[in-house]
Amino acid sequence: GAGVSQSPSNKVTEKGKDVELRCDPISGHTALYWYRQSLGQGLEFLIYFQGNSAPDKSGLPSDRFSAERTGGSVSTLTIQRTQQEDSAVYLCASSLGGGYTEAFFGQGTRLTVV
């Protein structure tokens, strides 16, 4: 696709339910980032995939959060047993990888846990 695509755009879920957020990066981009942004706050790093290397999971806030990237392309962020504090905008970005490359963001998924 022409840009990074995220789905769904909005998700309302009940506390305790599991959710899956999808990111489809720009074709050919080997690096993929997930961030979380609460209202009025900065970007909170969650996880970083770079090619076939082991992902950097150091930003995942708890073991309820996991992410995978299948075939080096589409990524899914899964949140199990959602809590109200998980409510935020989840942003995905991708880049060509390597040092001198630019990252581009999707439009984000707004998650609301009620």
Contact residues: another protein, CB under 8 A: 31, 33, 42-43, 45, 48, 50, 53, 56, 89, 91, 93, 97-108
Closest CA to 5 of 24, 21, 20: 24
Task: Map tokens 């769904």 to a residue.
Answer: 8
Closest CA to 17 of 82, 85, 100, 101: 82
Q: Which is nearer to another protein, 43 or 83 (CB)?
A: 43
Residue 100 C-beta: closest distance to another protein, Å: 6
Residue 16 C-beta: closest distance to another protein, Å: 28
Q: Which is nearer to another protein, 14 or 58 (CB)?
A: 58
Q: Which is nearer to another protein, 30 or 81 (CB)?
A: 30
Residue 108 C-beta: closest distance to another protein, Å: 5
Closest CA to 29 of 91, 110, 105, 90: 105
Per the structure block, which two tokens stand in for 37? 């942004």
Residue 42 C-beta: closest distance to another protein, Å: 4
Q: What's the full length of the chain, in residues?
A: 114
Task: Map tokens 């995942």 to a residue.
Answer: 60
How many whole angstroms separate alpha carbon 111 and alpha carbon 95? 24
Q: Which is nearer to another protein, 14 or 54 (CB)?
A: 54
